[in-house]
Amino acid sequence: MQNQRRMEVAVGAFMLLGVLALVFMALKVSGLAWETSNKTFQVEAYFGDIGGLKERSKVTLAGVTVGRVARIELDQQWFEARVLLELDESLQGKLSKDTAAAIQTAGLLGDNYISLTPGIEEATLAAGDTLRDTQSALILEDLINQFITRSTQD
């Protein structure tokens, strides 16, 4: 009977250790946060070339992450990329309507992300608005190509 009791305690401790490990993996290793359903609002932007931008890429303002790319699709009429941005709800009514969006690269070979630059207009962005002032991704190969063709022309 004593033996049975010790075994039960050991098995219980084993299970507890397993659950603890799972919690550790969730919180400390994968950085799973509880408030994943943060309130957001969506705006859209059209780009001529999104380069390596992916869904869930980050959107920054002054280098601070303020949102994510929610969806990327092809605009069938103008053959441009239509990018839906999910921005933090606290920014609603604060960003001016002529906010510019540019696709940039983190470091030389890093991931693409969207960087916002606030404008000067009085009117502010609301959900569903379109960002007019956009700048496509800088593609390194294109730059090199241009450089080579220009230097061979001389």
Partner 1 sequence: MLDWLARLGRPVIHLLAALGRSVIFLFQSLAGWPRSYKAVQLWMRQVYSVGVLSLIIILVSGLFIGMVLALQGYTILVDFGAEQALGQMVALSLTRELAPVVAALLFAGRAGSALTAEIGLMKATEQLSSMEMIGVDPLKRIVAPRLLAGFFALPLLSIIFTMIGIGGGWLVGVDWLGVDAGAFWSNMQASVDFQADVLNGFIKSLVFAWVVTWIAVFQGYDLVPTSEGISRATTKTVVYSSLAVLGLDFILTALMFSNL
Q: How far is the CB of 8 from partner 1 (least distance, A)?
A: 6
Taking the alpha carbons of 38, 39, 42, 47 in that order, is the dihedral positive or negative?
negative
Taking contact as CB under 8 A, which single stretch among the options 12-20, 98-106, 121-129, 133-141 is the one that binds partner 1? 12-20
Binding status of residue 106 toward partner 1 by CB under 8 A: no
- Work out which of 17, 106, 127, 143 binds partner 1, going by CB under 8 A: 17
Core vs surface per residue 63-86: b (16+ CB within 10 A) or e: eeebbbbbeeeeeeeeebbbbbbb
Shortest distance (Å) from residue 133 CB to partner 1: 29
Residues in the site for partner 1, rule: CB under 8 A? Answer: 4, 7-8, 10-11, 13-15, 17-18, 20-22, 24-26, 28-32
